[in-house]
Structure 1
Amino acid sequence: MSAFSLKMDIAENRFFNGETSTLFSRQQAQQARRFHQKMTGYKPTPLVPLNELAALFGVKKILVKDESQRFGLNAFKMLGGSYAIARLLCEKYHSDINELSFEKLKSSIKEKMTFATTTDGNHGRGVAWAAQQLGQNAVIYMPKGSAQERVDAILRLGAECIVTDMNYDDTVRFTMQTALKNGWEVVQDTAWEGYTKIPTWIMQGYATLADEAVEQIASMGISRPTHVLLQGGVGAMAGGVLGYLTDVYGAKNLHSIIVEPALADCLYRSGVKGQIVNVGGDMATIMAGLACGEPNPLGWEVLRNCATQFVSCQDAVAALGMRVLGNPFGCDSRIISGESGAVGVGLLAAVHFNPQREVLMHQLKLDSNSVVLVISTEGDTDVKHYREVVWEGKHPAVQ
């Protein structure tokens, strides 16, 4: 196979201290998972071993958590939105989350509510789905350039969907102002001063997938992963999942790598500086779910304390991951992974094909004993673009 070089900037986390968070612990994740288990259609998403790809890449195991099979929604995001809405309703009606299901919550709602959020697609779809399940309203705002297919998926769930002429972070601010004026409840997966409770619940809800993965890893007879690759974005998923994993395995026992698009690498830049750094502009990356320029301070605290490395990479890395997963090596299973979902495997592939492979493997502490956990956070949520990448070769690895 060809050798080629894709842009990957790797930064060591000089501010790592290994301090875990009580907010994003095993206990909190298991409470969220118990709630999700009561939902109709719940089942753990597959943890897929790619043994032949692992042998090719020179590691012991590659384990991919395939979130395309989550509640038929093609992405993991509903885990956070549904749990946060449930916690919000429990607080409003003085109920115990441990004793309630969505069905019981639906019967307890005494007045129609409207949930609002900003999304690049998957989070808004999850909020719209949860609102529909509860018989409530949802208003979803999306930044400019959002794919029509993602808009249509939200509309099919009965929500109102509005595409703005602003980038993601400015749309978040607009959503907050509009919701405040109209008396709507904001269910946003990023936090700011005075708005931390709901983002905390969302992040705790995301950890359901990590609790499943830990259980699945143990069932394979594997004591623990040595590495985990997590997508950046605002850092909500990465923070929630890493918080849980470090509580289970210990931060010093897990080499955690946070991966972002170079066009929206706010966590990478924050990791280099040791404090939050915002990124502005259009952030026109193909990784729509990661096109966020302002870190979630709750997630950032976990990542600053416990992440091993931060990586900023070009879009072709994600496109490579989509093709590798969609065209499996040897007898490995096929995984349909979207732009944001595939960047972890894309990074592993980009390292393998790089002329400086050995140097990069050493830098990432990857070797024949490495067990790598990767989260494929979404499937082909934009089918048109998925086919342009996988069929037509858009964003090629080799020019």
Structure 2
Amino acid sequence: MLIANPRAARTLYPAELRAILSIDKARQSRQWLSHWREIAPVATPLHDLPDLAEALQIARFSVKDESARSPLGSFKALGAPAALVRQILRLHPDIDPQGVLAGRYADRLKNYTVVSATDGNHGRGLAAAARDAGCYCVIVLHANVSQEREKAIAAYGAQIVRIAGNYDESVQEAARLASAHGWQVVSDTSYEGYEDIPRDVMQGYGTIAAEIVEQTAVQPDTAGAYTHVMLQGGVGGMAAGLISYLWEHQGVNRPRFIVVEPVQADCLMQSAIQGRPARATGSVDSVMAGLACGETSPLAWRFLDTSVDHFATIEDNEAIDAMRVLARGSEQDIPIVAGESGVAGLAALRRLRGDASLSAQAGLDAQSRVLIINTEGATAPSVFRQLAGTSADEILQRQQQFSRKNHVR
């Protein structure tokens, strides 16, 4: 399904939004995280896939590959750690922010506990950051988070709390535990009275947009390399973090933004229809675990409300097919390890280009230049192998062979 957002506008980035998320603050977070051992010292790859662009009948198709960001396996390595550093600075304004994740203040933080709900990747990022900072971490997991993802989080020293409900209920349980024990919630979704830390999480994601600007040499207030940027939904935080940066940098010349969600977890599409943060209409349960969210983050919605041009939903089988397309690669296209949530943009693009009416609605044609963000790699290797039909290691071997053959760095 595709709907146009009736409130989408092409304006300069509003001052009231810049006061919340800004390029300056994104640069600050990027600088702090650049010293963390869990972050790659170079930008993640921006791959052009010409064979896939030809198959989709567009001029350019690119993938920003966040699977290479960190051993944590996803873009979430940018959010929770940045938020943890900023929260610790609020408590201890005298410390050096670059020393937090280096463990220089572990003695001061050993009695400090952070807690969060997660579908997997956010919790893993928070657990790793808490371990390196020297504080204690509790992660609340809902019923549909796999044992494999649980073990990956626990490996960083986090205490795991399991509940029987869904993601939204795990968010409520994390808030309850924090209130009962005096812990600090570090969540990527906002709710009434809780916005500072979700803002900091979103600000961390600005690093992705900053690298895209640098890698494509986009000058301020110009249209840049892409006509369309397709972004994952979830609660809206990642989309808001990238959109805010690109909107501020490109102004009225920003690309067309399309946000993609599982059909059964359509909270952002419902927000666009209702004109306010809303709940999903479906079961929420999806193979795209990172996008299986039932409630829109009100803070993220402030940024998406007037900047997203279209909202699209996809089926689980379309995501699985897209995983296999990227894993396969081709003569000119490098194989990519892309997890089930990481391929949402490609899954939607394939659906839209397969329907002339939908393509026309989205402004897609033979001259379009489209960017997607591969937000995760094989964060649950056994699930990945089952869905992609091959292992991440096999894809990485073919990726290396492709790079040697084509002299790709």
Superposed pair shares fold, TM > 0.5: yes
Residue 371 (structure 1) aligned to one of 369, 372, 391:
369
Q: State how far apart, in whole Å, the 2-side matches of 1:106 and 1:44 are.
A: 28
CA 1:159–1:106 in 2, change beyond 3 Å: closer, same or farther? same
Unaligned runs of at least 5 residues, structure 1: 1-8, 393-399
Q: How does 1:341-380 map to 2 (within 5 A)?
A: 341-352=342-353, 354=354, 356=355, 358-380=356-378
Are 2:266 and 2:282, in contact at CA under 8 Å, matched by a contact in 1? Answer: no
Are 1:89 and 1:105, in contact at CA under 8 Å, matched by a contact in 2? Answer: no
Give 2:277's aligned amino acid.
I
The corresponding residue for 1:39 is 36
Deviating more after overlay: 149-158 vs 270-279:
270-279
The corresponding residue for 1:388 is 386
The alpha-carbon deviation at position 319 of structure 1 amounts to 1.0
Q: State how far apart, in whole Å, the 2-side matches of 1:30 and 1:214 are.
A: 13
Q: State how far apart, in whole Å, the 1-side matches of 2:383 and 2:257 are.
A: 29
The corresponding residue for 1:16 is 8
Are 1:38 and 1:101, in contact at CA under 8 Å, matched by a contact in 2? Answer: no
Are 1:31 and 1:98, in contact at CA under 8 Å, matched by a contact in 2? Answer: no
Question: Deviations 1:187-208 (Å, cap 9, x if unpaired)?
Answer: 0001111110001000001111
Q: How does 1:1-399 map to 2 (within 5 A)?
A: 9-18=1-10, 20=13, 21-22=17-18, 23-40=20-37, 41-95=40-94, 102-103=101-102, 106=105, 109-218=108-217, 223-251=224-252, 253-279=254-280, 282-352=283-353, 354=354, 356=355, 358-391=356-389
Are 2:110 and 2:134, in contact at CA under 8 Å, matched by a contact in 1? Answer: no
Q: State how far apart, in whole Å, the 1-side matches of 2:103 and 2:149 are.
A: 30
Q: State how far apart, in whole Å, the 2-side matches of 1:367 and 1:105 are.
A: 53
CA 1:123–1:201 in 2, change beyond 3 Å: closer, same or farther? same
Question: Deviations 1:300-342 (Å, cap 9, x if unpaired)?
Answer: 1111111000011211221121011111133211111111101
Q: State how far apart, in whole Å, the 2-side matches of 1:43 and 1:243 are.
A: 23
CA 1:131–1:360 in 2, change beyond 3 Å: closer, same or farther? same
Identity of aligned residues (%): 37
Are 1:321 and 1:347, in contact at CA under 8 Å, matched by a contact in 2? Answer: no
Q: State how far apart, in whole Å, the 2-side matches of 1:251 and 1:170 are.
A: 39
Aligned length: 380
Question: Deviations 1:69-118 (Å, cap 9, x if unpaired)?
Answer: 12211111021100010001111111377765522653573542111000
SS in 2 for 1:192: coil
Are 1:224 and 1:249, in contact at CA under 8 Å, matched by a contact in 2? Answer: no
Q: State how far apart, in whole Å, the 2-side matches of 1:311 and 1:68 are.
A: 23
Give 2:123's aligned amino acid.
G
| Two-structure CA RMSD over aligned residues (Å) | 2.1
Q: State how far apart, in whole Å, the 1-side matches of 2:81 and 2:96 are.
A: 12
Are 1:35 and 1:101, in contact at CA under 8 Å, matched by a contact in 2? Answer: no
CA 1:188–1:64 in 2, change beyond 3 Å: closer, same or farther? same
Are 1:125 and 1:153, in contact at CA under 8 Å, matched by a contact in 2? Answer: yes
Q: State how far apart, in whole Å, the 2-side matches of 1:223 and 1:58 are.
A: 20
Q: State how far apart, in whole Å, the 1-side matches of 2:364 and 2:95 are.
A: 44
CA 1:92–1:219 in 2, change beyond 3 Å: closer, same or farther? same
Are 1:167 and 1:282, in contact at CA under 8 Å, matched by a contact in 2? Answer: no
CA 1:327–1:28 in 2, change beyond 3 Å: closer, same or farther? same
Are 1:87 and 1:97, in contact at CA under 8 Å, matched by a contact in 2? Answer: no
Are 1:67 and 1:377, in contact at CA under 8 Å, matched by a contact in 2? Answer: yes
Are 1:146 and 1:163, in contact at CA under 8 Å, matched by a contact in 2? Answer: no
Q: State how far apart, in whole Å, the 1-side matches of 2:163 and 2:303 are.
A: 31
The alpha-carbon deviation at position 253 of structure 1 amounts to 3.1
Question: Deviations 1:341-394 (Å, cap 9, x if unpaired)?
Answer: 011111222334x3x3x22222211123222111110011122222222229xx
Q: State how far apart, in whole Å, the 1-side matches of 2:228 and 2:96 are.
A: 33
Deviating more after overlay: 270-279 vs 293-302:
270-279
Question: Deviations 1:15-51 (Å, cap 9, x if unpaired)?
Answer: 1234532022222221111112122343321111112
CA 1:54–1:95 in 2, change beyond 3 Å: closer, same or farther? farther
Give 1:381's aligned amino acid.
T
List 4+ stretches of structure 1 deviating above 6 A: 96-99
Give 1:378's aligned amino acid.
E
CA 1:342–1:381 in 2, change beyond 3 Å: closer, same or farther? same
Give 1:182's aligned amino acid.
H
SS in 2 for 1:241: helix
Give 1:277's aligned amino acid.
A
Give 2:161's aligned amino acid.
I
Give the number of the structure with larger relative contact order, counting CA–CA contacts within 8 Å between residues 6 or more apart.
Answer: 1
Question: Deviations 1:241-266 (Å, cap 9, x if unpaired)?
Answer: 11111111125531100000011100
The alpha-carbon deviation at position 128 of structure 1 amounts to 0.3
Are 1:327 and 1:334, in contact at CA under 8 Å, matched by a contact in 2? Answer: yes
Give 1:363's aligned amino acid.
Q
Deviating more after overlay: 120-129 vs 160-169:
160-169
Q: State how far apart, in whole Å, the 2-side matches of 1:346 and 1:36 are.
A: 31
Q: State how far apart, in whole Å, the 2-side matches of 1:100 and 1:325 are.
A: 38
TM-score by length of 2: 0.88
Give 1:199's aligned amino acid.
P
Give 1:59's aligned amino acid.
I
